[in-house]
């Protein structure tokens, strides 16, 4: 059992909370820290022997950095691997329960737990496959009478909170992968520097394996929504969105319609 956190000039206290949450689980064999920061200031963040620190100052992006750890884990014959954001914290039982579920359900290639804000409110991260309209509406949030019905459907907000189900889009902030499945569908697409790489991988995984939302356990996540606050991140977001829709289809995407219909049919 392995995991990876990609770093970039992170605040040490928040990062230590994340590292401690993960390595507190006894079934963890290795945690990779792929540091895309320009300096070595995070190099000695922990002296736990299960941690392997890799400095990666060329900063190829979120997905490309995670692929380094994923490939190492695959080559070492590891069965399961976690992708973790550095601003996540959780109880040690989360790891064990997610792994147990995946062991019992070999057709699951990818899964995520319930994600909470630090105040305990739910982050609505499982989604239907997006259209360009979906992206626009999530940014504008108006007109309200259209937005409310749209967001409830798109983010599956009316599904019972404790229900385990398949969602074609899972967030990359905390993800468990079956590495045999991941080896088959391929890792993150390196052409996404940041944003949409998890959506793209979810969609590819969902073609051949189940992508499961597992709200029986939860983690806390400091959701930043950086693209709404910083001009550079917003530009990266737009570039990734264009690449995503160029890859999968803008307005004509039959597969998207079929997958979304199948997802919603679970709840009838």
pLDDT tens, residue by residue, 201-240: 999 999 999 999 999 999 999 866 545 557 889 899 999 9
Q: What is the pLDDT of residue 224?
A: 64
Extract the tokens encoding 135. Answer: 């992206």
Q: What is the pLDDT of residue 204?
A: 98
Q: Quick check: helix, strand or coil at residue 4?
A: strand
Q: What is the rounded average pLDDT of the residues 50-64?
A: 96
E-only strand ranges, 117-267? 165-166, 174-178, 210-221
Q: What is the pLDDT of residue 183?
A: 97
Q: What is the pLDDT of residue 225?
A: 56
Count Cβ atoms below 10 Å from residue 128 Cβ, excluding itself. Answer: 19
pLDDT band at 64 (very low <50, low <70, confident <90, very high): very high
**Rounded mean pLDDT of the chain?**
94
Is the previous residue joined to 41 through a cis bond, with omega within 30 degrees of 0?
no
pTM of the model: 0.93
pLDDT tens, residue by residue, 129-143: 999 999 999 888 888
**CA distances, 43 to each of 33, 36, 46, 68 (Å):** 9, 11, 8, 17
């Amino acid at each position: 059992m392995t995991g990876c956190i990609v770093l970039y000039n992170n605040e040490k206290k928040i990062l230590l909370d994340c590292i401690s949450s993960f390595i507190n689980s006894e079934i963890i064999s290795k945690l990779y820290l792929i540091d895309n920061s320009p300096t070595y200031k995070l190099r000695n963040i922990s002296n736990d022997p299960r941690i392997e620190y890799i400095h990666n100052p060329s900063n190829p992006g979120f997905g490309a950095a995670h692929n380094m750890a994923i490939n190492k884990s695959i080559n070492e014959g590891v069965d399961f691997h976690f992708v973790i954001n550095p601003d996540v914290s959780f109880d040690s039982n989360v790891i064990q329960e997610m792994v147990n579920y995946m062991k019992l359900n070999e057709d699951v290639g990818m899964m995520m737990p319930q994600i909470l804000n630090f105040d305990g409110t739910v982050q609505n991260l499982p989604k239907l496959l997006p259209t360009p309209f979906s992206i626009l509406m999530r940014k504008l949030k108006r007109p309200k009478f259209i937005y409310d019905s749209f967001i409830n459907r798109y983010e599956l907000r009316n599904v019972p909170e404790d229900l385990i189900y398949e969602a074609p889009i899972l967030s990359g902030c905390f993800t468990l992968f079956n590495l045999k499945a991941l080896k088959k569908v391929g890792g993150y697409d390196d052409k996404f520097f940041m944003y949409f790489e998890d959506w793209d991988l979810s969609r590819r995984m969902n073609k051949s394996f189940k992508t499961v939302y597992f709200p029986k356990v939860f983690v806390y996540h400091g959701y930043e929504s950086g693209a709404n606050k910083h001009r550079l991140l917003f530009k990266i977001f737009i570039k990734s969105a264009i690449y995503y829709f160029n890859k999968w289809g803008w307005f004509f995407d039959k597969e998207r319609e079929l997958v979304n219909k199948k997802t919603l049919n679970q709840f009838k």
